[in-house]
Amino acid sequence: PFGSGSQVSDWAILGARVQDSGGKVVDEGCFVIPTAEIEIKDDWHVAGLRGTGSCSLMATDAEVPVHQFISFVDGRAGRTPGAHLHDGTLFRAPLAPPLAIVLCGPAVGVAEGAINDLVGYVPGRANPHLRGAAQIDSPLTHQTVAEAKANVDAARMLLHRAAGDIYDAADWGGDMTVEVRARIRMDSAYAVRLCMNAGEAMFLVSGGSGLAETNPVQRAWRDLHAINQHALLQLSTNAEIYGRTILGLEPGSDIL
């Protein structure tokens, strides 16, 4: 499931388990395959992120050349084919930490957009239950907008720190500790939660007009909740992984 952009792509990236002749799993990784060789199911009918077209993909009896496969073991260590061919720093980065961060960019942008949209139409709104009260003069609106903006700013700073840690480790060729990898997953999930909270606040303060399908704030609200549902961005799971490493325990996850 969740093959984002598959309906407008020529190639798909799919996860796979590699088994030996006895059926034992000996490796895991991902491979690329032409979308013409797979089935794209029309099943992405959802409340948020509708434009991503994240349909389910089905590959049956497909033959994949070895050069179209990358092992997660090599990817986690930064031993990717690109690292052998190119000198660019990011080609040496481990696979999982950047994967978490790239999922967060849309959340920051959507939350920022929701704030801007609300700020754009607040001056013309009034509270019908308070005589002569314009929403732009409401202390509650002032506080809500300020806190939402602070949430998005904090999310951006968390992601900048995480990106810097990834780049620095790749630049000097060292390995990232398990705790840093776990913290990057936590930072990513927490950043998305902060953005979702900002979008939630903008939706609530928009009142009944925020329910209109033509109102961009409700679309942002739906999209932010959808981003928050991504498996890699579940706050409770990532908090458990990070908390375990802080306490000196094994993280309990291989996706680091």
Q: Each residue of 100-157: pLDDT tens digit?
A: 999 999 999 999 999 999 999 898 888 777 777 888 999 999 999 999 999 999 999 9
CA atoms within 13 Å, Cβ hemisphere of 11: 7
Are 198 and 115 in a shared domain? yes
CATH number of the CATH domain containing 100 = 1.20.140.10
Determine the structural domain holding residue 34 and report its residue range: 6-74
81 confidence band (pLDDT: 50, 70, 90) = confident
Pick left, alpha or beta for residue 113 (phi over 0 → left; psi -120 to 50 → alpha; otherwise beta): alpha
Q: Each residue of 10-28: pLDDT tens digit?
A: 999 998 888 888 999 998 9
Q: CA–CA separation, 136 vs 144, rounded Å?
A: 12
Residue 235 to residues 45, 59, 67, 185: CA-CA distances in angstroms? Answer: 25, 31, 35, 9
CATH number of the CATH domain containing 28 = 2.40.110.10
Are 113 and 62 in a shared domain? no
> Which DSSP category does 212 fall into?
S
Distance of CA 106 to the CA centre of its chain: 7
